[in-house]
Amino acid sequence: MKNKFCSICVFILLLMPHFVFAQFNIAKVIQPNFMLGGSVSQFRITLADFENVYDGRWGPGYGGFAGVRVFSAHYIVLKYGTFQRDGKNGTHESSGLDLKNAHWDEKWYNIGLRVHPPIANKVQSYYGFGLSFFDVNEVEGLSVFNSSSNNDGLGSGFYMELGLEYFPATRVAAFFEVQVASGGVRGKTGFEAMSVGGFRFALGISIYPF
């Protein structure tokens, strides 16, 4: 009797995903050729010495993306994002200037591959990875880096992303995305404490026009 009851429970559990997702199926399955969207986010920078100058590692930002299908469910995606923070109370240990005048302005540009399955359910996921390029600007004399660092050029690194989408309509989705990135600027490595990448948690809207 006990074994029979267990068998019935296992059978019900195996059927549950079918009953749940059957309610969220989209009538016509499509694999779009183009995607674009925008998002707002909270970002936490990895750079270890960041709070020596700036008021916390967390801050808001915004971003956008566009992608084109190259084959099957694979898309080449271009992404853009920002992160800004102001200085904290105190004086800079090297220049003696007021840290309240400090400002961190970071932009990053990603190019990578996104794997996005056909739009078949109202709730589904995607993932991707690729290269990141970082552009960081600071106020002269109020830098988190030492004065001998090279200020020219873009830093580079990599990113990974994982997203969850909800489709209220066939070609429009609201999404939540987590992105992890690592990269270095001004001659620094992009790993661990010297990385100007970090963790990005974003909410946004995606559109699949055709």
At 145, which CATH number? 2.40.160.20
Q: What is the pLDDT, as a whole number, of residue 20?
A: 39
Domain total for the chain? Answer: 1
How confident is the prediction for the chain on average, in pLDDT? 86
pLDDT in tens, 102-144: 999 999 999 999 999 999 999 999 999 999 999 999 998 999 9
pLDDT over threshold 90, residue 186 = no
What confidence tier does 2 reach under pLDDT thresholds 50, 70, 90? very low
Strand partners, 40: 62, 203
pLDDT in tens, 11-46: 434 444 443 344 456 667 899 999 999 999 999 999
Q: Which residues contact 182 (CB under 8 A, 6 or more apart)?
A: 46, 132, 157, 158, 159, 190, 191, 195, 197
More confident residue, 149 or 67: 67
Least confident of 137-141, 174-178, 192-196: 192-196
Over residues 174-194, the mean pLDDT reads: 83
CA quadruple 18, 21, 26, 29: dihedral sign: negative
**Structural domain for 11, as ranges:** 2-207
